[in-house]
Structure 1
């Protein structure tokens, strides 16, 4: 942060008949300097002093922030940049050029950049459009650093004019709100491998979420659990394969394992056991929908990102079944029934899913629930220009391809960065609205 051009006057030691006025001027200048230093960005050598105003310098990662820039010359052209370090130490960056209005201000919620890493009016455009320093941004996804085991994103916003920094501000994006607690579950003690994330204590019962991933395996869904708990919903994130003590492949996974996790979650204080939702993506949607069908007294509906409506085989492919129930393998390619689903179902898909046809599976699930005369809310949301990567919260840079963590091969997810971001915003809003509708 640069200092203002008008510095504090030097002390006057000789007597003067105008000393009171001089002291008053000194106090005014000191106050002005202090005010400038407390504001994001003060620039020397200019007649105007740019500042960045942000409504929430520290916020949840799924909360949009409102950025405005003031103190510029009318119609000045400036570059506004964002940068954030990733977990691997690389710094991701985005930049866009804006023109100040008649008052020397730029409101990022209202102004469209004339050039840059994103187009159109988007107050959060600088966040999701950040690019890595090397490689194809479409083939990479940003992973925030971890602090105390939880992701935290530190974003620096800068205003530059003719190559010089005019103002800067630091923002912190968190996944875990104040008062939210976590507890690790182990196979030895709990017969489940996962992390329970509990909202701050209160006297109410809340809908709860059992969340698990897809063919990536492991416990990569903790960030989703943290955000859901930060919104007030007790959430248990579990691993079911490709993790210590669990099968290394998606092969013969008992549905009873998920039921054990759901029973544990239902017993927790402040959990409303009548409103327990399964949430998953891709291959995990099979288990989520199967749980809702075969354990309707325990799991009361599902959120299905990029879903399938049929049972798929083992992964990596080995000719066997992915799931078992009562010790018996579930038949591959069999349609997943929905006759006993006892809660809401939300199926979310991208119209350009290049991994599998979730865009047709999602509406089929909704139609099958209609045909079964299911009395609970159910719908399919299909987003144009979005691919397979439509799960989770918005505002983070994601690509349209990824290296699969199990097979280590590059896979195409489909969609565009713009389309996927739009789907993440709308889909996440729909998920939170569904949970809110279950809150007493």
Structure 2
């Protein structure tokens, strides 16, 4: 009799399957819920997974293709809670490409299919070529794909327009992004990069226009029709671009902002100082507060900037004529140069000049030279210079990502306070 009872109990356990823990430990009812499946690329989204086996281990991944169609991937392993859910805003990965609770961690921590992630950056197609890129979210448990969903990250909202300028036709080299017409006048941004040369600000300019701010991203050397090196760049070139931006529909001519990154911060501050009637605010990322030497084909040499046909002397940039607010953003672990110190010195000089406009330095402790600008794209912390030398930008991928996530809204708030 006892043997028959034992056999019956064993049969019931087998029939019970997953309830007894002997069946497959995965769910076929997993659901990916997201608050914004289609959203601007700089907007954080909120992802949850439900319908999982309570306390089960699952892997989530985010995959996207860069402009070369190379596949990048972020991943994280989680343990579901007692309700069979994972909330990415609150859950800490057990392992993966990032650590700590971070709802956007899968995005900024993506790594390339090969090579060193710290020496790579995820670069999608230009916004004027593709107005968005897709991210594939996948949930896997015990080798089984439980759920998948495609998210669309936009650069351009409907109605945003693009126009290219060339030196041959327009005497400037840049890309203009304008918000939809008929929405009044708004602050506009003239932005440019640093010692990398060329024009790399299309993504940011497209996002600014999508937020309602006309934006012109400018190349000033190492592009067709421009000087080959960062030497003897005339400030009149930047002023010409600012006037071109001012003349565009939807631009408030009384609120034009110059924004520079790294070596471009020298030009932004100089533009605000020398052309105070044209430029009414300055934003600088990883800044310098001084004119540094030019960059020739083999390194430093010569003068970087000229004005009225004469070289601008090296040394601290006067700021007493800047006629508008100033925002400086720096990483405390910048190893490329002393951007934290120089950001603070910019504020000190403005205070000494009794500047009447708001001015603020934002210093992010875990970030390096890659402290900006918009968030959620994967980027490394060291890159080769044009000379082939590896430049250590300092900070960490996580530190830079956190700085961008916090700093970008402050940039948008800076523009909004000007009347956007």
Contact kept, 8 Å, 2:190 with 2:256, in 1: the verdict is: yes
Tell me the equivalent position of 1:380.
Answer: 361
- Any idea what the Cα deviations from partners look like across 1:318-360, whole Å, max 9, x if unmatched? 531010001000112x110001110110011101111110010
1:151 is displaced (CA, Å) by 6.0
Distance change in 2, residues 1:112/1:47 (3 Å): closer
SS in 2 for 1:274: strand
Q: Deviations over 1:89-142 (max 9, x none)?
A: 221112111111222111111211222221111100110111112111111111
Show structure 1 runs of 4+ deviating over 3 A.
44-48, 145-148
**Given that residues 155 and 207 in structure 2 are in contact (C-alpha distance below 8 angstroms), is that contact kept between their aligned partners in structure 1?**
yes
C-alpha distance after superposition, 1:298-319 (max 9, x if no partner): 0012100000011011113353
Question: Aligned-residue CA RMSD in angstroms?
Answer: 1.6
* More displaced 10-residue stretch of structure 1: 182-191 or 358-367: 182-191
Alignment correspondent of 2:14: none
Within-5 A mapping of 1:226-305: 226-305=206-285
Change (3 A) 1:278 1:150: farther
**Deviation per CA, 1:61-90, whole angstroms, max 9, x where unpaired?**
100111111111111211111111122222
Q: What secondary structure, in the 3-state scheme, does the structure 2 residue paired with 1:226 have?
A: helix
Q: 1:343 to 1:148 in 2, by over 3 A?
A: closer
Match of residue 384 from structure 2: 403
Instruction: Give the structure-2-normalised TM-score.
Output: 0.91
- Cα pair 1:85 1:145 within 8 Å, conserved: no
List alignment gaps of at least 5 residues for structure 2. 1-23
Contact 2:192 2:217 in 1 (8 A): yes
* Alignment match, 1:194: 174
Q: Does the CA contact (< 8 Å) of 1:150 and 1:176 recur in 2?
A: no
Residue 38 (structure 2) pairs with residue 58 (structure 1): yes
Contact 2:26 2:144 in 1 (8 A): no
Counterparts of 1:432 and 1:279 in 2: how far apart (Å)? 12
Please, which of 311, 315, 338 is the counterpart of residue 329 of structure 1? 311
1:89 aligns with 2:69: yes
Q: Map 1:43-122 onto structure 2 (within 5 A).
A: 48-122=28-102
The residue matched to 1:315 in structure 2 has which SS? strand
Is the deviation greater in 106-115 or in 144-153?
144-153
Mapped to 2, the partners of 1:336 and 1:147 lie a distance apart of: 35
Secondary structure of the structure 2 residue equivalent to 1:425: helix
Answer whether contact 1:256 1:325 (CA < 8 A) is retained: yes
- Which residue does 2:10 correspond to in 1? none
Q: What is the TM-score of this pair, normalised by structure 1?
A: 0.87
Report the equivalent of 2:116: 136
